[in-house]
């Protein structure tokens, strides 16, 4: 305890803060890279004029509340007030669109990854580059705004992601980590920078518009893990800690996206490793040994924070609808006068799912709060359906919603493993779906017919991952790769708890997927009818 206290006082720590979809989380780590304190703040996006967004006020008030919660935790644990750190890192939800004018003013409300409003741009850019450009990527949002004839485009001086915006305002540096940057615009793996051929193609494509900018001029500089990304300014320190106690001059690592920090937090940055992050959205990441044989609409290509090529199957919806049903059960408990702890309620209901039929007893659900590009839905309508003879039990109901949360992901991962023959030595699960021991892990193993490991640190998630990237910048030895640093200095042989797929689960999930695929017509009817 005294050693940790001294590390806090002397700034021998690293701070990571990640902006998730529903929670902003801070994790403070000590010299051994283990978490020693944390803070958090709940927040939620809004649907404003059919755009999923967060206000700038919510961004800054949320960041300050999260940091204040961390300060309080440190004071309670160690009896000291935070004044400095060895390094800081910020990460956030990848993709989206934040465009600023020459005065640094936001031109249009932040368009998050959750929006599915750029289909034309996505298709045209994919054809132009011969490289899959998903709807949620920043370049798709920019090009769609051009196609829409939006007036603000001519005024764009800079556009970036949420993590890039936070980093810019705290350091004055317009930079991004390569993993985060790979969700803005394609990366040339040979150079670790934005792909110059594609930049030229884009500029030529829009040349007749006569904008006063070229694409390279309005995008961030791309940095690799371990590189210096600037330092906290006096203004930045005040933004983070309005009390004025936090000192300026603290170095920052390159800002990263939640995909990259998830890879770091699960030690999945080496080739032939993979991870699945399952929370509000869900995505599977597989670090590739070589390029894919062709362009797949369902598969995105991004990079690790070190710049290695990663195949990413991303789905907009995962646990939000499941959480809504759990909250309904909480309302019932409250109405009956029962005091129920939410963690206990989640654990009980998730555990109940394992008692259900392997094929969910004929039940069916779609968890689409928003659209899903993989299944070709521009909007979502959460729904639950069954046949008269289906077995409606609590166990089957919960199992159905757990299956639904991973069904779109299975489509993408099946392409990699079955069509491309991608080999995996290990795959890790992390995020809210895996907090109840053994349940989400078993469901995922059944979905992809692959062993799944979960580490005790899985609950720390991306905030810990970005703290580790900040620590890597400080602690790495000469020439030490990020993968070696994680293996030697952080995980030291810890591979987590592995769960093999249960054959009945594999068969049951395959049966469910057949029902799910046929039933997509029901989801389409709901989107068309419920306006």
Comparing CA positions, the residue from 88, 91, 73, 68 lying closest to residue 21 is 91
Q: What is the pLDDT of residues 186-244, one digit of tens each?
A: 999 999 999 999 999 999 999 999 999 999 999 999 999 999 999 999 999 999 999 99
Q: What is the pLDDT of residues 367-378, one digit of tens each?
A: 999 999 889 898
- Rg of the chain taking only CA atoms, in angstroms: 23
| pLDDT the model gives residue 457 | 62
Q: What is the pLDDT of residues 408-435, one digit of tens each?
A: 999 888 889 889 999 888 789 888 888 8
Q: pLDDT band for position 341 (50/70/90)?
A: very high
Angle at the Cα of 347 from the Cα atoms of 333 and 22, rounded to 5 degrees:
85
For residues 83 and 246, give the distance between their C-alpha atoms in angstroms, rounded to a whole number. Answer: 4
Q: What is the pLDDT of residues 35-85, one digit of tens each?
A: 999 999 999 999 999 999 999 999 999 999 999 999 999 999 999 999 999
Q: What is the pLDDT of residues 483-502, one digit of tens each?
A: 999 999 999 877 789 999 99
**Does 3.40.50.300 match the CATH number of domain 267-317+411-499?**
no
Q: What is the pLDDT of residues 292-301, one digit of tens each?
A: 999 998 899 9
Helix (H, G, I), strand (E, B) or coil at 285: strand
Position 152 pLDDT exceeds 90: yes
Bridge partners (DSSP) of residue 158 are 100
Per-chain mean pLDDT for the chain: 94
Pair 387, 522: CB distance under 8 Å = no
**DSSP-assigned letters across all residues of 404-456:** HHHHHHHHHHHIIIIIS----SEEEEESGGGSSTTHHHHHHHHHHTS-EEE-G
Measured N-to-C along each axis, helices 461-475 and 258-265 cross at an angle, to the nearest 10 degrees, of 80
Pair 155, 145: CB distance under 8 Å = no
Q: What are phi and psi for residue 214, nearest 5 degrees?
A: -110, 150
Pair 176, 221: CB distance under 8 Å = yes
**DSSP-assigned letters across all residues of 53-101:** E--HHHHHHHHHHHHHHHHHHHHHHHS------SEEEEEE----BEEE-
Q: pLDDT band for position 338 (50/70/90)?
A: very high
Comparing CA positions, the residue from 415, 491, 413, 397 lying closest to residue 452 is 413
- CA 215 from centroid of its chain's CA atoms: 25
Alpha helix (H) residue ranges in 206-308 = 215-218, 234-240, 258-265
Q: pLDDT band for position 456 (50/70/90)?
A: confident
| pLDDT the model gives residue 459 | 56
Q: What is the pLDDT of residues 94-143, one digit of tens each?
A: 999 999 999 999 999 999 998 989 999 999 999 999 999 999 999 999 99
Position 458 pLDDT exceeds 60: no
The domain spans of the chain are 2-257, 267-317+411-499, 320-406+503-529
CATH class of 2-257: alpha beta
Position 467 pLDDT exceeds 80: yes
Comparing CA positions, the residue from 444, 321, 323 lying closest to residue 372 is 321
| Average pLDDT, integer, range 326-342 | 96
Pair 475, 467: CB distance under 8 Å = no
All residues at 6 or more sequence positions from 426 whose CB lies less than 8 Å from its CB, including other chains:
268, 272, 273, 274, 451, 453, 495
149 DSSP 8-state letter: T
All residues at 6 or more sequence positions from 424 whose CB lies less than 8 Å from its CB, including other chains:
272, 273, 274, 286, 417, 450
Pair 116, 135: CB distance under 8 Å = yes
Give the rounded percent of residues in the chain with a pLDDT score beyond 90: 84
| pLDDT the model gives residue 430 | 82
All residues at 6 or more sequence positions from 229 whose CB lies less than 8 Å from its CB, including other chains:
167, 171, 173, 175, 177, 223, 251, 252, 253, 254, 255
Pair 182, 263: CB distance under 8 Å = no
Are 2-257 and 267-317+411-499 in the same CATH fold? yes
Q: What is the pLDDT of residues 229-276, one digit of tens each?
A: 999 999 999 999 999 999 999 999 999 999 899 899 989 999 888 999
| Average pLDDT, integer, range 312-317 | 90
Q: Please report the beta strands in 93-201, taking only residues with DSSP state E, as ranges in sequence order.
A: 98-100, 158-160, 175-177, 187-188, 193-194
What are the b/e assignments for 287-312, b being 16+ CB within 10 Å? bbeeebeeebebbbbbbbbbbbbbbb
């Amino acid at each position: 305890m005294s050693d940790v206290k001294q590390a806090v006082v002397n700034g021998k720590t690293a701070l990571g803060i990640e902006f998730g979809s529903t929670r902003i989380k801070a994790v403070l780590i000590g010299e051994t890279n283990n978490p020693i304190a944390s803070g958090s703040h709940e927040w939620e996006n809004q649907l404003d004029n059919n755009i999923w967004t967060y206000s700038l006020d919510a961004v800054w008030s949320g960041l300050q509340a999260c940091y204040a919660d961390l300060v309080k935790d440190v004071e309670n644990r160690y009896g000291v007030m935070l004044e400095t750190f060895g390094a800081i890192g910020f990460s956030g939800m990848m993709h989206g669109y934040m465009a600023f004018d020459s005065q640094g003013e936001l031109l249009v409300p932040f368009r998050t990854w959750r929006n599915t409003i750029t289909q034309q741009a996505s298709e045209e850019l994919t054809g132009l580059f011969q490289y899959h450009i998903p709807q949620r990527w920043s370049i798709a949002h920019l090009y769609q705004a051009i196609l829409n004839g939006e007036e603000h485009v001519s005024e764009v001086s800079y556009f970036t992601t949420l993590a890039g915006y936070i980093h810019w305002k705290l350091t004055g540096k317009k930079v991004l980590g390569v993993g985060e940057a790979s969700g803005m615009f394609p990366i040339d793996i040979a150079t670790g920078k934005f792909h110059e051929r594609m930049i030229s193609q884009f500029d030529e494509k829009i040349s007749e518009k006569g904008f006063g900018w070229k694409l390279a001029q309005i995008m961030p500089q791309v940095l690799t893990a371990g590189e210096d990304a600037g330092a906290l300014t006096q203004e930045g320190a005040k933004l983070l800690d309005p009390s004025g106690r936090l000192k300026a001059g603290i170095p920052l690592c390159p800002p990263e996206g939640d995909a990259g920090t998830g890879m770091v937090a699960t030690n999945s940055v080496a080739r032939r490793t993979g991870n699945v992050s399952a929370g509000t959205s869900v995505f599977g990441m597989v670090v590739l040994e070589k390029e894919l044989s062709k362009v797949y609409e369902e598969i995105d290509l991004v990079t690790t924070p070190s710049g290695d090529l990663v195949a990413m199957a991303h789905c907009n919806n995962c646990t939000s609808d499941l959480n809504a049903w759990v909250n309904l059960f909480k309302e019932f408990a409250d109405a009956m006068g029962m005091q129920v702890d939410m963690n206990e309620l989640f654990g009980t209901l998730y555990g109940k799912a394992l008692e259900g039929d392997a094929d969910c007893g004929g039940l069916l659900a779609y968890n689409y709060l928003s659209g899903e590009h993989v299944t070709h839905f521009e909007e979502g309508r959460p729904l639950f359906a069954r046949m008269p003879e289906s077995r409606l039990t609590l166990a089957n109901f919960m199992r159905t919603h757990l299956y639904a949360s991973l069904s779109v992901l299975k489509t993408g991962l099946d392409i990699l493993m079955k069509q491309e023959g991608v080999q995996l030595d290990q795959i890790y699960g992390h995020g809210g779906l895996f907090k109840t021991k053994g349940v989400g892990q078993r469901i995922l193993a059944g979905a992809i017919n692959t062993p799944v490991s979960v580490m005790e640190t899985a609950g720390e998630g991306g905030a810990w991952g970005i703290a580790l990237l900040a620590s890597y910048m400080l602690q790495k030895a000469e020439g030490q790769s990020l993968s070696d640093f994680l293996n030697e200095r952080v995980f030291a042989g810890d591979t987590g708890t592995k769960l093999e797929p249960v054959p009945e689960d594999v068969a049951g999930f395959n049966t469910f997927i057949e029902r799910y695929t046929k039933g997509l017509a029901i989801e389409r009817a709901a989107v068309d009818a419920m306006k």
